[in-house]
Amino acid sequence: MQFMLLFSRQGKLRLQKWYVPLSDKEKKKITRELVQTVLARKPKMCSFLEWRDLKIVYKRYASLYFCCAIEDQDNELITLEIIHRYVELLDKYFGSVCELDIIFNFEKAYFILDEFLLGGEVQETSKKNVLKAIEQADLLQENRIRITARVSMGGLRKNLY
Amino acid sequence: MPAVSKGDGMRGLAVFISDIRNCKSKEAEIKRINKELANIRSKFKGDKALDGYSKKKYVCKLLFIFLLGHDIDFGHMEAVNLLSSNRYTEKQIGYLFISVLVNSNSELIRLINNAIKNDLASRNPTFMGLALHCIANVGSREMAEAFAGEIPKILVAGDTMDSVKQSAALCLLRLYRASPDLVPMGDWTSRVVHLLNDQHLGVVTAATSLITTLAQKNPEEFKTSVSLAVSRLSRIVTSASTDLQDYTYYFVPAPWLSVKLLRLLQCYPPPDPAVRGRLTECLETILNKAQEPPKSKKVQHSNAKNAVLFEAISLIIHHDSEPNLLVRACNQLGQFLQHRETNLRYLALESMCTLASSEFSHEAVKTHIDTVINALKTERDVSVRQRAVDLLYAMCDRSNAQQIVAEMLSYLETADYSIREEIVLKVAILAEKYAVDYTWYVDTILNLIRIAGDYVSEEVWYRVIQIVINRDDVQGYAAKTVFEALQAPACHENLVKVGGYILGEFGNLIAGDPRSSPLIQFDLLHSKFHLCSVPTRALLLSTYIKFVNLFPEVKTTIQDVLRSDSQLKNADVELQQRAVEYLRLSSVASTDILATVLEEMPPFPERESSILAKLKKKKGPSTVTDLEEAKRERSVDVNGAPEPAPASASAASTPSPSADLLGLGAAPPAPTGPPPSAGGLLVDVFSDSASAVAPLAPGSEDNFARFVCKNNGVLFENQLLQIGLKSEFRQNLGRMFIFYGNKTSTQFLNFTPTLICADDLQANLNLQTKPVDPTVDGGAQVQQVVNIECVSDFTEAPVLNIQFRYGGTFQNVSVKLPITLNKFFQPTEMASQDFFQRWKQLSNPQQEVQSIFKAKHPMDTEITKAKLLLGRSSDLGQHSLKKLILTLQTLWALASSTPKPPRLDACCVWSRICKLRCTGSRCAQARTLFPRGYVTYCRSSFNPMQAVGLCVLFPCVSATLGDHTAHSTMEHLSTCTSSLGPGRGWDTKGLLTGTTAGLPVQGGPGSMKSRQPVVQSTN
């Protein structure tokens, strides 16, 4: 996998993970182009498309699009399930994940992704093992401060999954 | 509501994020961010040492700001500090920051590497994991240098934790991808292979990815992985769905690992028989499972299952050795073709494309033709339809070509614009490749042009012409068909091109039919002429001249057309030249010569279809199936393109549209036609001994210079011939009368003057002329009129080449025709304010030239100054450079001495462009800052020329470029300035003598002298 992007229906980038070295400028260009392309597609269309010399696999969960760029010989369907497994991991960790969780806890979203995918390849497919690693890390933390940021989010919650 | 803060919350961060989200506008957001950045900066710089938590919080905020798309230029050091924290979450944020904002700051990289090294050595698995993640995320060369040796050890060490092994494997993979040279193979490789047997499926998954990548480059080193992978795969596919516990995904056992193992096996050829049997069993099992009823209705179940199935089919296709499996795979995909999931239909079409290229499954794929055609018609997603087109192309062979081509053609009428060109290419290739009957081929291509003419690239219509020319059996049919197609009231220009070319070659084959008599053919083509672009018209003119040869009965009609003003005086040089030359050719050449020159095109040498090359270029080599090569039924027999341009005498000067055929193949064209030479080919036809254009006549350069600033006079003279000129110019137009005088008492025969413009000049200067009588009697004078249009600025002058026979010997004379840029200059009145405004805009480096040159003649400042001010104009011819310089000096002095030059625009220019320095009495250096305005003004338009200054600037151009002698430069100056007209500008003479012919300086020489400041002289 070359990169993974999460963006909202409004085209706001929520998470970006690059597994190939690219300049910031190039990253921004790719993001802009892909967000446009994917958002323009209709719901019933197939989840794969050819883009430059890559294959794009995307899926929409509630208000968020998950979009992966894979190489020619990579497997599209299994990539689709990589996306799903990641959503499951987020869901399990946050408990009914929604876009706001990813906005407010972006660092956690990155940590979970790092446990699941590394260097663009699946590192650990077991949901249990991934979450175990994250929970362990949480246990290591020293000062637990409960935030009530959610309160101010009001009724904006919309579960991804 | 579930608990918000898993892990440690950072309240400040959450507040900040809320603030950003509440911003109503982009401006407000930026304002908030800048406020925060200032806050963080002050905290980082503050005297009070920050505790770990605050540091973490601020670094996290910076990260958030960066991810919003803003640049971050500080905080790296604080992030690096976090790396060495003992608190996990602080370290974690530090690593995240480093991973996202990689900075190749070498100092920092050293510190980061240091921190990573410590964590790797810590033996704390969570710390090691973080360090490995960071290496894998950054993957830079510096990191590879530092850790490529260390990581394999961690990977294969017996006591390494499983999770660390996983990270280490993928970390190594990333480093290998980025810098393969820094990851040396070694003992560790065999131990990595054995990780395929590891008990922990997560470790096996990560290791399989690593091995697959390494094996692609070093297959020998990892050969043993094949049997291990097969046995691993076998255990997975035969396991019950609960055996693998958490590695079972929606009832599919370890789908990711299965896909990866199948992928690894695609790095190798089919294994040894023992292993092979087991592998075949596995593959059969996977195919069998696809037929079982689903264990879950969830899409995840079917996706995971089919992901494994598609990867298995890829492996089967890769091995391409088990007919049974190939056919089963094909049948399976056939089922998917009608699946309700769009994704599956898409993938099935894609996979079948590769299956179609296997000899074992090609027939099986063909059975699905109706389904695929249906997909083409009914799929709502263009990317799926695209796949259907690809598959139809791949499954096409002689048996179904007619059907497939027909379907593609009908799809083309409604196809998405984005894929039309590709379909056109595909249809063209298939029609050519599988044509049994070339009439079908011709019909198909004409249909293509009719349906999607705009998408028919040149290659396609070139190709149909090549094929028709090479195949005798289809020529008559082609002529008849294009003739009929051209009857349509509106036909595409590409059809006119094909029709024009084919009728020009083979129109005679249908001329017997009164319905397509020569005149009707001609009228039909000519009715399209006016609607066509220039290249097509040029082609049609060639067709006409070919008609002159084919059908003598329409010769006069065609000559009338060629002779019409719209041809002979056409604004387009190419058309005009063709018209002139063809007209001439038709009236001068004998029937035999015509028949030779306008002979039917010779067959094209065979070569790979240029269309195929184009499609390959468009799609990449892999998608144009290898099968084409493998089962090519016969080598394509009509190929390539040599030099066409049959009678195009103009090929020498302009590439004619048909000459573009040349560009098609990589090989140089076969020399079937006469090579284009610098001289007109047409000349060769008229005179048997004619060679290329003669070198410029001696002395003509001098004469040329003289004409820079005069319009009438004798341009050339030798003992036989005298050429006189009379010319006038107005705005961008000019007319030149050339008088050729025969000084002898004998007739000149075949007298042919030709105007030759160099390639770059041709675009800028439009010359139109009529041919002169080919015989010039002794003592007589003939006149030729040249109409001149200056289109853009130019530097070269056209060459007049005259060829004639005098007393049995062939004479060839070339002279430069004095058409120079300054002829088109015009004065414009302009206030100094406006002028300087424009002048200041010209500040680009390329708009400024400076040149320093030495005077050729000695110079005495005092004498010349006196001469300049009081001197006689008759002295102008001598020491003119000095005078130029002094003129400039005077002008400069004038400009600098007059506080507000009333109408001294030109003067101001001078002061700006010329800084003069007389060094010594024998040498003068004029430093001329070259007119920055020159190019720009000329480009903008000639009408009107924008600045007075320009007129004055031109001589500097010449002087600087060394185009002209100092002498002519001087004359230049005088002409240019005098051309400004009375009361407007400068009269050199008036200036020199100090009288005021329009000189805006009060008083005579005396007053001028008295006001003259110190001349810029270092003497």
CB interface of B with A, residues 109-138, below 8 Å: 126, 129, 132-133, 136-137
Cβ contacts (< 8 Å) between B205 and chain A: which residues? 122-125
Residue entry with tokens 């019909």: B443
| pLDDT band at B777; cut points 50, 70, 90 | confident
| pLDDT band at B131; cut points 50, 70, 90 | very high
The verdict on a CB contact (< 8 Å) between A78 and B139 is no
Are B825 and B954 in contact by the 8 Å Cβ rule? The answer is yes
B617 pLDDT higher than 90:
no
Nearest by CB to A76, from B133, B345, B347: name it.
B347
- Which own/partner contact pairs does B455-459 have at CB distance under 8 Å and 24+ positions apart? B455/B420, B455/B421, B455/B423, B455/B424, B456/B424, B456/B428, B456/B492, B456/B494, B457/B421, B457/B424, B457/B425, B457/B614, B458/B660, B459/B425, B459/B610, B459/B611, B459/B614, B459/B664
Q: Which structure tokens are listed for B206?
A: 């990560």
pLDDT digits (tens, 9 = 90+) for B335-386: 999 898 899 999 999 999 988 888 888 888 989 999 999 988 888 888 899 8
* Confidence (pTM): 0.63
The verdict on a CB contact (< 8 Å) between A141 and B8 is yes
Q: What are residue B942's phi and psi, to 5 degrees? A: -95, -5
Alpha carbons A110 and B60: distance in angstroms, whole number: 12
In chain B, which residue's Cα lies nearest the Cα of A103? B17
Interface residue B18 vs chain A (CB under 8 A): yes
Predicted pLDDT of residue B995? 26
Question: What is the rounded average pLDDT of the residues B697-721?
Answer: 76
The verdict on a CB contact (< 8 Å) between A129 and B345 is no
pLDDT digits (tens, 9 = 90+) for B395-431: 998 899 999 999 999 998 888 887 888 888 899 889 8
| pLDDT band at B432; cut points 50, 70, 90 | confident
**Cα B606 vs. chain centroid, distance in angstroms?**
28
The verdict on a CB contact (< 8 Å) between A124 and B163 is yes
B612 pLDDT higher than 80:
no
The verdict on a CB contact (< 8 Å) between A147 and B53 is no
pLDDT digits (tens, 9 = 90+) for B182-200: 888 888 888 999 999 998 9
CA end-to-end distance (rounded Å), chain A: 23
pLDDT digits (tens, 9 = 90+) for B642-662: 333 333 333 333 333 333 333
* Bond prior to B675 in cis (omega within 30° of 0): no
Interface residue B290 vs chain A (CB under 8 A): no
Angle at B1005 between CA B1004 and CA B1008, to 5 degrees: 90
Report which DSSP code applies to B928.
Answer: E
C-beta atoms surrounding B268 within 10 Å: 16
Alpha carbons B672 and B664: distance in angstroms, whole number: 16
- DSSP assignments along B121-140, one per residue: HT--HHHHHHHHHHHHHH--
Angle at A39 between CA A37 and CA A44, to 5 degrees: 105
In chain B, which residue's Cα lies nearest the Cα of A139? B7
Predicted pLDDT of residue B862? 59
A143 pLDDT higher than 60:
no
Predicted pLDDT of residue B938? 24
Q: Which structure tokens are listed for B80?
A: 């690096």
Angle at B477 between CA B473 and CA B480, to 5 degrees: 155
Question: What is the residue-averaged pLDDT of chain B?
Answer: 74
Q: Which structure tokens are listed for B359?
A: 């000899």
In chain B, which residue's Cα lies nearest the Cα of A154? B1
pLDDT digits (tens, 9 = 90+) for B458-515: 888 888 888 888 888 889 999 999 999 999 888 889 999 999 999 999 998 998 888 8
ipTM above 0.85, yes or no: yes
Alpha carbons B445 and B494: distance in angstroms, whole number: 11
pLDDT digits (tens, 9 = 90+) for B824-851: 776 666 677 777 777 777 666 666 655 5
Would you call B81 exposed, middle or buried from its count of C-beta atoms within 10 A (0-12, 13-18, 19+)? middle
The verdict on a CB contact (< 8 Å) between A118 and B174 is yes
Estimate the share of chain B in helix, then strand, then coil, as percent rounded to the nearest 5. 60, 10, 30
Q: What percent of chain A lies above the pLDDT cut of 70?
A: 86
Helix B401-412, helix B369-378: angle, nearest 10: 0
CB interface of B with A, residues 238-277, below 8 Å: 245-247, 249, 254-257, 259-260, 263, 266
